[in-house]
C-alpha cells in the first residue's frame, strides 16, 4: 500500500471546523471511500477510526488530532482530523503549522460559528490554502446559500460554489456539479450507488447563473480567468479548474463543496476537490529557519536530496512503545537507526523506529522523505515544537504560537505515596501538550494546573485516572486573572544594599513604569541609560528582575502584564555590585512602581455565541445580564434567534447546565477566549479579599 508516490501527488491536509460540524464523520467517510476501512463508524456509536481514545468515544468529541494516510486517484493523502472544541485549540494550531492545505467543514444549519472564525484566523496566520465543505444538508433548517453568504461576510473570503444541492433537509437527493455540468443522483444511503447524468432541465438556468458568479469571483483571484472573462471568451472546464487551483494556492479564492457526510453524499466529490485544488509540498513556499550557530536565515526546499529538516509538532504517549513524535519532514531523508541533531538541546537524538500512522495503529518503514508526515520513536529529550535536522546542514524552524491558559485549579494526590507518581504523570502531559501548564504556588503550598478551559483540565484529570491509575483531589476551577497598571509613575527607586564587613552587595536602579501602548504586548523593557552610571553587564539582570517581579502583582499576587519599564538611572559600587544585587533592586523597584502606577485587576473575557428558540431568548438574555454580559449582536438563523456576547469567564462556570434548564435543553452556546479587560471595582475588591484570605489561612 505504501508504494513510492511522486512528491507532486502528496496532499498533506487537515479537516478543521467548529465543534459538531461533522469533521470526524467526514474523515470516516474519506477513509471508507479510499479503502482504508471497510465498515463506516459513527460518532454516536463511538466507533470512528480517528476518535480512538476512550474519552473521545464516550463524549462524542475529538480531543486529540489523529493522523491517517490514504490514497485517492493516485494521490497520497496524509490527513489530520483536528478537534473543534475551543479547549483543544492548540491541537488545531500545531496541525495547521505543518499542513499544506485544509478542508473547512461548516454545518448547513449553524453556518459560520465562533470557533470556525478562530480556526480560519489560525489558517490565515500560517497561510494555509483552503477549500470549504458545507455539510449536514439533510438537517432541519439547512440552507446552502445562507452559509455561503456567511462565509463571504463573516470570514471575509472570496468564496463561490463549485456545486449546489438538489433540495435540502429530507429532500436532499443529488448534487449539481457546476464545473463538469453533471448531476450526481444518490440512489441509496451508502453513497456507493451514484448515477452521473446530464443536468435536469429545472436546474440548468440556476447552474448557468451560479457558473457566472463562480467565474466572476474567480476572476478577482486569477489574472488569466479575469482576462478571458473581460474579453467575453469561452472558458473551458480544464481552464476553469486550472484557474481555481492557481487562486486557491495563493489564498485568493475559496471553492465551496456541499453534501452530507452522515448520509454519504458529496464526499467522493470533496476528495476529487482535495486532489485537484489543494497544494502538494512542491506548491507551497519552502520552509525557512535560522542556522542555530550563525543565526543566519536558512531555506530548505522540499527535496529528498537536500539536508534533512523536520518539525516535531505533536507528542503522544503509547503504553507499549513510549513517546511517539509526530513529525513533518520538510527536506531530505530520515533513516531508521541514524542520529539527527536537535538545535534546542544542542545534541543528537537517535531514531529507533519510523512509523506511518493510521490513527492509533502503525506501519513500520525504514526511511521517510521530504513531504511526508510520519511518527518517530526513540527520542529521549525532544519536545513538541522542536526541530530535528541533519548534523551538517543545521536549521532551527520557528515553533508554534502557544495560547495562554485561562483556567486554573489546584490538584493533589489522594495519598502521600502518589506524590512522586503525580509529578511524573504531569511531566508526561506537559511534554504532550504545550497549552497545559503546571506550577507550584509557594505561598499556598499547592500544585496548580492551568489549561484552555474546564473541559481541557477535566480530560487531563480523567486520563490521569484511566491511563496512570492515579486518583487526585481537585480544587474548584479558578480564573487566570492578571494585573496591569493604569497610569505612569516616574523615578521609582529600587535599592539592594548589604554592606556589613567583607564583600557586600550593592544594586541601585531608577525606573519609570507606564501602561503598554497596546493590549497583549506583555512586558516591554527599555534602557535609557547612556552614560556609565550602571555598567552594561548589569542590564540583563535588571530586565530579569523586572520579569521575575512581574510574576506576582501587588494586588492579589496575580501575574502582571501589558506594562512598560524604562531604566532611567542608577548607581553601582566598584567592588560590591553583582548581578544578583541589581536583579533584586529591579524587583523592589517594580513592586514600588506597581503601587504608584495604580495596579488594576484584569480578567479573561469570552466571546459567546448563543442559539435559542425565540420563546426562550428573553430568559436566556436576562440570565446573561446577571452575568455581566455585554451583548454585541442579535440575529436570527432560520427559526432560531442568535446572540453574540462578551462575558467574563468567571461568570460562565457551569453555564451549560443553567442554559439547559432555562431553555428545556433546546438552546446551545459556544465560547472562546477573546481578550483581557479590567475587572469592575466592586468585583475586584471581592476577588482580592478572597485571595488574601486564602493566603492568610494557608500561612
Task: State the pLDDT at residue 593.
Answer: 93
Task: State the pLDDT at residue 696.
Answer: 65
Q: Tell me the C-alpha distance between 410 and 448, whole Å.
A: 4
Given the candidates 3.40.718.10, 3.30.70.240, 3.20.20.330, 3.30.56.10, the CATH classification of the domain at 604-683 is: 3.30.70.240
Q: Are 413 and 472 in contact (CB under 8 A)?
A: yes
Task: Put residue 602 in one of left, alpha, beta given phi > 0 → left and psi -120 to 50 → alpha.
Answer: beta
SS3 247: helix
Mean pLDDT value across residues 209-233 = 90
Q: What percent of the chain has pLDDT over 70?
A: 89
Q: Is the pLDDT of residue 348 over 60?
A: yes
Domain 408-478 is in which class?
alpha beta
pLDDT-derived band at 49 (thresholds 50, 70, 90) equals: very low
Given the candidates 3.30.230.10, 3.30.365.10, 3.30.2350.10, 1.10.3430.10, the CATH classification of the domain at 483-597 is: 3.30.230.10
Mean pLDDT value across residues 489-495 = 92
Q: Are 526 and 539 in contact (CB under 8 A)?
A: no
Strand ranges in 306-431 using DSSP code E only, listed in sequence order: 309-318, 322-331, 333-335, 339-342, 347-350, 353-358, 361-365, 367-369, 373-377, 387-389, 396-397, 407-413
Q: Are 538 and 529 in contact (CB under 8 A)?
A: no
Report the run of H or E that residue 424 belongs to, with start and end.
helix 419-432
Q: Are 285 and 302 in contact (CB under 8 A)?
A: no
Q: What percent of the chain has pLDDT over 90?
A: 32
Q: Are 631 and 623 in contact (CB under 8 A)?
A: no
Task: State the pLDDT at residue 319.
Answer: 64
Q: Are 425 and 433 in contact (CB under 8 A)?
A: no
CA-wise closest residue to 13 among 108, 59, 89, 77: 77
Task: State the pLDDT at residue 2.
Answer: 47
Q: Is the pLDDT of residue 391 over 90?
A: no
| 408-478 shares its CATH topology with 604-683 | yes
Q: Tell me the C-alpha distance between 545 and 541, whole Å.
A: 6
CA-wise closest residue to 28 among 12, 52, 51, 48: 48
Q: Distances in Å between the alpha carbon of 446 and those of 178, 293, 440, 441, 558? A: 62, 40, 6, 5, 15
* Count of alpha carbons within 13 angstroms of residue 635, beta-carbon side: 12
Q: Is the pLDDT of residue 152 over 80?
A: yes
Task: State the pLDDT at residue 177.
Answer: 93
User: 288-397 has which CATH code?
Assistant: 2.40.30.10
pLDDT-derived band at 648 (thresholds 50, 70, 90) equals: very high
Q: Is the pLDDT of residue 499 over 80?
A: no
- 9-172+245-277 maps to CATH 3.40.50.300: yes
Mean pLDDT value across residues 406-433 = 83
Cβ contacts of 164-168, under 8 Å, gap ≥ 24: 164/206, 164/207, 164/210, 164/258, 165/137, 165/258, 165/259, 166/203, 168/108, 168/137, 168/138, 168/142, 168/143, 168/144
Mean pLDDT value across residues 127-154 = 90
Q: Is the pLDDT of residue 367 over 70?
A: yes
- Check residues 125 and 274 and name the one with the higher pLDDT: 274
Q: Tell me the C-alpha distance between 157 and 255, whole Å.
A: 10
* Count of alpha carbons within 13 angstroms of residue 93, beta-carbon side: 17
Exposure b/e, 119-138, CB count within 10 A at least 16 = b: bbebbeeeebbbbbbbbbbb
C-alpha cell at 92: 488545531
SS3 573: coil
Strand ranges in 541-598 using DSSP code E only, listed in sequence order: 563-571
Mean pLDDT value across residues 33-53 = 57
Task: State the pLDDT at residue 493.
Answer: 93
Exposure b/e, 263-276, CB count within 10 A at least 16 = b: bbbbbbbbbbbbbb
Q: Tell me the C-alpha distance between 87 and 457, whole Å.
A: 9
Task: State the pLDDT at residue 577.
Answer: 86
Q: Tell me the C-alpha distance between 383 and 314, whole Å.
A: 8
- The Cβ of residue 64 has, within 10 Å, a number of other Cβ atoms equal to 21
Q: What is the mean pLDDT of the chain?
A: 84
Task: State the pLDDT at residue 60.
Answer: 45
Task: State the pLDDT at residue 694.
Answer: 65
- Check residues 477 and 292 and name the one with the higher pLDDT: 292
- Check residues 256 and 664 and name the one with the higher pLDDT: 256
Q: Distances in Å between the alpha carbon of 294 and those of 80, 174, 290, 342? A: 35, 59, 8, 16
pLDDT-derived band at 51 (thresholds 50, 70, 90) equals: very low
Q: Tell me the C-alpha distance between 64 and 359, whole Å.
A: 10
Task: State the pLDDT at residue 163.
Answer: 94
CA-wise closest residue to 141 among 634, 637, 670, 636: 637
Q: Are 177 and 268 in contact (CB under 8 A)?
A: no
- The Cβ of residue 466 has, within 10 Å, a number of other Cβ atoms equal to 12
DSSP string, 655-693: HHHHHHHHHTT--EEEEEEEEEEEPPHHHHHHHHHHHHH
Structure confidence by residue, pLDDT tens digits, 54-83: 443 444 443 444 578 888 888 888 887 665
pLDDT-derived band at 42 (thresholds 50, 70, 90) equals: low
Q: Tell me the C-alpha distance between 650 and 482, whole Å.
A: 13
pLDDT-derived band at 274 (thresholds 50, 70, 90) equals: very high
Task: State the pLDDT at residue 596.
Answer: 92
Least confident of 385-399, 517-531, 656-670: 656-670
CA-wise closest residue to 333 among 366, 285, 357: 366
Boundaries of every domain in the chain = 9-172+245-277, 288-397, 408-478, 483-597, 604-683
Structure confidence by residue, pLDDT tens digits, 305-322: 899 999 988 777 766 667
Task: State the pLDDT at residue 467.
Answer: 79
Q: Tell me the C-alpha distance between 485 and 445, whole Å.
A: 28
- Report CA Rg, the chain: 28
- Check residues 602 and 316 and name the one with the higher pLDDT: 602
**Positive or negative, the Cα torsion across 380, 422, 409, 58?**
positive
CA-wise closest residue to 134 among 110, 113, 106, 95: 106
Cβ contacts of 443-447, under 8 Å, gap ≥ 24: 443/557, 443/695, 443/698, 443/699, 444/410, 444/694, 444/695, 444/698, 445/698, 446/410, 446/412, 446/475, 447/410, 447/411, 447/412, 447/422
Burial class (CB in 10 A: 0-12, 13-18, 19+), 637: middle
Mean pLDDT value across residues 425-451 = 80
Q: Tell me the C-alpha distance between 136 and 259, whole Å.
A: 7
- The Cβ of residue 697 has, within 10 Å, a number of other Cβ atoms equal to 8
Q: What are phi and psi of 247, to 5 degrees?
A: -70, -40
Task: State the pLDDT at residue 585.
Answer: 94
C-alpha cell at 139: 438537517
Q: Is the pLDDT of residue 490 over 80?
A: yes
Q: Is the pLDDT of residue 47 over 50?
A: no
Amino acid at each position: 500500500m505504501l508504494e513510492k508516490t511522486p512528491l507532486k501527488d502528496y496532499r498533506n491536509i487537515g479537516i478543521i471546523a467548529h465543534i459538531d460540524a461533522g469533521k470526524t464523520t467526514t474523515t470516516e467517510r474519506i477513509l471508507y471511500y479510499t479503502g482504508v476501512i471497510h465498515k463506516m463508524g459513527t460518532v454516536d456509536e463511538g466507533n470512528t477510526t480517528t476518535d480512538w481514545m476512550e474519552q473521545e468515544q464516550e463524549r462524542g468529541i475529538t480531543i486529540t488530532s489523529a493522523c491517517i494516510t490514504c490514497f485517492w486517484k493516485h494521490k497520497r493523502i496524509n490527513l489530520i482530523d483536528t478537534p473543534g472544541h475551543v479547549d483543544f485549540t492548540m491541537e488545531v494550531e500545531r496541525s495547521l503549522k505543518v499542513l499544506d492545505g485544509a478542508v473547512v467543514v461548516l454545518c448547513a444549519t449553524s453556518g459560520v460559528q465562533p470557533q470556525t472564525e478562530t480556526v480560519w484566523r489560525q489558517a490565515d496566520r500560517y497561510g494555509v490554502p483552503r477549500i470549504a465543505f458545507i455539510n449536514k444538508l439533510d438537517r432541519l433548517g439547512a440552507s446552502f446559500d445562507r452559509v455561503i453568504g456567511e462565509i463571504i461576510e463573516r470570514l471575509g473570503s472570496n468564496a463561490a460554489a463549485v456545486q449546489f444541492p438538489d433540495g435540502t433537509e429530507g429532500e436532499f437527493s443529488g448534487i449539481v456539479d457546476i464545473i463538469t455540468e453533471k448531476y450526481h443522483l444518490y440512489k441509496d444511503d451508502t453513497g456507493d450507488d451514484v448515477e452521473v447524468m446530464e443536468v435536469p432541465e429545472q436546474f440548468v438556468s440556476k447552474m448557468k447563473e451560479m457558473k457566472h458568479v463562480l467565474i466572476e469571483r474567480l476572476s478577482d483571484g486569477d489574472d488569466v480567468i479575469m482576462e478571458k472573462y473581460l474579453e467575453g471568451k469561452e472558458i473551458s472546464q480544464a481552464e476553469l479548474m486550472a484557474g481555481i487551483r492557481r487562486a486557491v494556492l495563493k489564498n485568493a479564492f475559496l471553492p465551496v463543496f456541499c453534501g452530507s457526510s452522515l448520509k454519504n453524499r458529496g464526499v467522493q466529490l470533496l476528495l476529487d476537490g482535495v486532489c485537484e485544488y489543494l497544494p502538494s509540498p512542491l506548491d507551497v513556499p519552502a520552509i525557512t529557519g535560522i542556522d542555530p550557530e550563525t543565526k543566519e536565515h536558512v531555506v530548505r526546499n522540499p527535496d529528498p536530496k537536500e539536508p534533512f529538516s523536520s518539525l516535531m509538532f505533536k507528542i503522544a504517549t503509547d503504553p507499549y512503545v513510549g513517546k511517539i513524535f509526530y513529525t513533518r519532514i520538510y527536506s531530505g531523508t530520515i533513516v531508521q537507526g541514524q542520529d539527527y541533531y536537535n538545535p534546542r538541546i544542542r545534541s543528537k537524538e537517535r531514531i529507533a523506529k519510523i512509523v506511518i500512522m493510521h490513527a492509533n495503529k502503525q506501519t513500520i518503514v525504514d526511511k521517510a522523505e521530504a513531504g511526508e508526515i510520519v511518527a518517530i520513536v526513540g527520542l529521549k529529550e525532544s519536545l513538541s515544537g522542536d526541530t530535528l535536522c541533519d548534523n551538517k546542514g543545521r536549521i532551527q524552524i520557528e515553533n508554534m504560537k502557544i495560547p495562554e491558559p485561562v483556567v486554573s485549579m489546584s490538584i493533589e494526590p489522594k495519598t502521600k505515596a502518589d506524590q512522586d507518581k503525580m509529578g511524573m504523570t504531569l511531566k508526561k502531559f506537559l511534554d504532550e501538550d504545550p497549552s497545559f501548564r503546571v506550577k507550584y504556588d509557594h505561598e499556598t503550598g499547592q500544585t496548580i494546573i492551568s489549561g484552555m478551559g474546564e473541559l481541557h483540565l477535566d480530560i487531563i484529570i480523567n486520563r490521569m485516572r484511566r491511563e496512570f491509575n492515579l486518583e487526585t483531589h481537585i480544587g474548584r476551577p479558578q480564573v487566570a486573572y492578571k494585573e496591569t497598571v493604569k497610569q505612569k509613575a516616574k523615578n521609582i527607586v529600587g535599592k539592594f544594599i548589604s554592606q556589613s564587613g567583607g564583600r557586600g552587595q550593592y544594586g541601585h536602579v531608577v525606573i519609570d513604569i507606564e501602561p503598554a501602548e497596546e493590549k497583549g504586548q506583555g512586558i516591554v523593557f527599555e534602557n535609557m541609560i547612556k552614560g556609565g552610571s550602571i555598567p552594561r553587564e548589569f542590564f540583563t539582570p535588571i530586565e530579569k528582575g523586572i520579569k521575575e517581579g512581574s510574576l506576582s502583582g501587588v494586588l492579589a499576587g496575580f501575574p502582571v502584564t501589558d506594562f512598560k519599564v524604562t531604566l532611567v538611572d542608577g548607581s553601582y559600587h566598584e567592588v560590591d555590585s553583582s548581578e544578583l544585587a541589581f536583579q533584586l533592586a529591579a524587583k523592589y523597584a517594580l513592586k514600588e512602581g506597581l503601587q504608584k502606577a495604580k495596579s488594576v485587576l484584569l480578567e479573561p473575557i469570552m466571546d459567546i455565541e448563543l442559539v435559542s428558540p425565540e420563546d426562550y431568548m428573553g430568559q436566556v438574555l436576562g440570565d446573561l445580564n446577571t452575568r455581566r454580559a455585554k451583548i454585541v449582536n442579535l440575529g436570527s438563523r432560520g427559526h432560531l434567534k442568535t446572540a453574540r456576547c462578551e462575558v467574563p469567564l468567571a461568570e460562565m462556570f457551569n453555564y451549560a447546565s443553567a442554559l439547559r434548564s432555562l431553555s428545556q435543553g433546546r438552546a446551545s452556546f459556544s465560547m472562546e477566549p477573546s481578550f483581557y479587560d479590567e475587572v469592575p471595582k466592586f468585583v475586584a475588591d471581592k476577588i482580592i479579599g478572597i485571595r488574601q484570605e486564602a493566603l492568610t489561612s494557608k500561612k
